[in-house]
Structure 1
């Protein structure tokens, strides 16, 4: 990670593109939420939520990625936890692997980064020894697929979603996060995602209702409830919220040390960041 005054691609996005993407994504998310709330998802006549919405959302994110791979990557990691709940995953029917938002955007960003490197428009950061060790781990997982009781296709899809796609996300992040400004944008998105997760967790604990996820809350006793939230398990949610706290604290300390005569908007941002970190800690 280089310390440089070079601008991040997100600092120079034209206003018209930001407005267009905001309107498009806002409209898509509104349609998805309305369709989910009205119970239309999964019905025979729900072509809008099964086909149009996933393809339109993927098209918007691909267009954003072509302009700025960093912006596309940040949009991907921000929307990925919600994609299966608000009709952003393309369901292809029984026996055919689904084209989830993570699969489509992960594959596209990987190809985009490699293509730009082949054209000489960027240099790929080299792989580390830990990456090679992870590749050997994946090889061992693939060898174990024939022994699964859930079927080979289901086993391969589980490995793809749980291990390969996150590794692709890590590889893409190394290539598109090039300087401190890019890292600041990444931290902001991660903190915002952590705040959203924490609010869902707090609401679930207070009400006993699992929002979005189609299953009942797991209770061990009247006062002890297992958090399900977006991912069906407390472990990935806990790891996510715990991970963003040190990143957010680092960003907050750097912001406080950067300039003693900060503007009111900067102070407001610092207060919002501190409040967000407090919510993550509570969650």
Structure 2
């Protein structure tokens, strides 16, 4: 990544496009929350949450990605933790793998980046030795699928969601984050996500109510319970929240330095 004063693609997004996408995504999220809360409206409600909303949300994010792959990537990582809870995943029925937001947008962004490179519009950053080591690790995981007690399809889906999609996200991030301005946008989105996770954690500890997860939390004591809001496990949400603390401190230091320089 180069240290440069070059503008990020997000700095050049026209105001009308940002407003339109914000209204569209806001409306979709509002519909998703209302449909999820109403629950028992019937077949129309089921079609809304299972088909219409996921396709509409994916369409908005794909359109945003075509205009700016960086913007599409940031929207993806910001919405991915909530997609299964607010009707953004396309559920295809029993026996058919679901098309989650992460699967759809991850695959689209990967193809978009590779296509732009093939057309000469973008130069791909080379893979590192760690990437090759990770590929060997994935190969070993795939070989272990026949031994799983949960079934081959379930095993493959677990590997896809837990290992392959995050690797795709890392690869796409390397290609779309090109300068310091892009990195700042990425940092802001990650810190905002960490703040949202922190609010969920604090609320669950204070009230005992689990949000965005349909299971009761296990209590360690009368005043302390295991946090399962959103992700169903305290480990991933705790690690994710802890990882953004250095990023938040970095933004704070940069802001203070900018203020002192201005004065």
TM-score interval, smaller chain: over 0.9
Deviation at 1:254, TM superposition (A): 2.0
Q: Deviations over 1:173-222 (max 9, x none)?
A: 00000000000000000010000000001001111111111111112332
Q: Which moved more, 1:236-245 or 1:61-70?
A: 236-245
Quote the Cα distance in structure 1 between the aligned partners of 2:150 and 2:33. Answer: 32
> Are 2:48 and 1:78 aligned?
no
TM-score, L = length of structure 1: 0.90
Aligned match of 2:260? 260
Distance change >3 Å, CA 235–CA 41, structure 1 → 2: farther
Q: Deviations over 1:226-245 (max 9, x none)?
A: 11011111111111111111
Distance change >3 Å, CA 82–CA 103, structure 1 → 2: same
Distance change >3 Å, CA 43–CA 224, structure 1 → 2: farther
Runs of 4+ in 1 over 6 A off after TM superposition: none
Aligned match of 2:155? 155
Aligned match of 2:181? 181
TM-score, L = length of structure 2: 0.97
Distance change >3 Å, CA 200–CA 43, structure 1 → 2: farther
Quote the Cα distance in structure 2 between the aligned partners of 1:103 and 1:236. Answer: 19
**RMSD in angstroms over aligned alpha carbons?**
1.5
Q: Deviations over 1:60-116 (max 9, x none)?
A: 000000000000000000000000000000000011000000000000000000000
Deviation at 1:170, TM superposition (A): 0.4
In the alignment, is the contact (CA less than 8 A) between 1:74 and 1:189 conserved in 2? yes
In the alignment, is the contact (CA less than 8 A) between 1:74 and 1:186 conserved in 2? yes
Structure 1 unaligned regions, length at least 5: 264-283
Distance change >3 Å, CA 41–CA 50, structure 1 → 2: farther
Secondary structure at the counterpart of residue 225 of structure 2 = strand
Deviation at 1:255, TM superposition (A): 2.4
Distance change >3 Å, CA 260–CA 45, structure 1 → 2: closer
Q: Which moved more, 1:252-261 or 1:62-71?
A: 252-261
Deviation at 1:44, TM superposition (A): 7.1
Deviation at 1:251, TM superposition (A): 2.0
In the alignment, is the contact (CA less than 8 A) between 1:217 and 1:226 conserved in 2? yes
In the alignment, is the contact (CA less than 8 A) between 1:58 and 1:105 conserved in 2? yes
In the alignment, is the contact (CA less than 8 A) between 1:141 and 1:159 conserved in 2? yes
In the alignment, is the contact (CA less than 8 A) between 2:218 and 2:226 conserved in 1? yes
Distance change >3 Å, CA 175–CA 232, structure 1 → 2: same
Quote the Cα distance in structure 2 between the aligned partners of 1:132 and 1:40. Answer: 48
In the alignment, is the contact (CA less than 8 A) between 2:205 and 2:224 conserved in 1? no
Quote the Cα distance in structure 2 between the aligned partners of 1:65 and 1:211. Answer: 30
Distance change >3 Å, CA 113–CA 42, structure 1 → 2: farther
Distance change >3 Å, CA 258–CA 42, structure 1 → 2: farther
In the alignment, is the contact (CA less than 8 A) between 2:39 and 2:45 conserved in 1? no
In the alignment, is the contact (CA less than 8 A) between 1:55 and 1:90 conserved in 2? yes
Deviation at 1:45, TM superposition (A): 4.8
Quote the Cα distance in structure 2 between the aligned partners of 1:204 and 1:42. Answer: 31
Deviation at 1:36, TM superposition (A): 1.1
Distance change >3 Å, CA 236–CA 230, structure 1 → 2: same
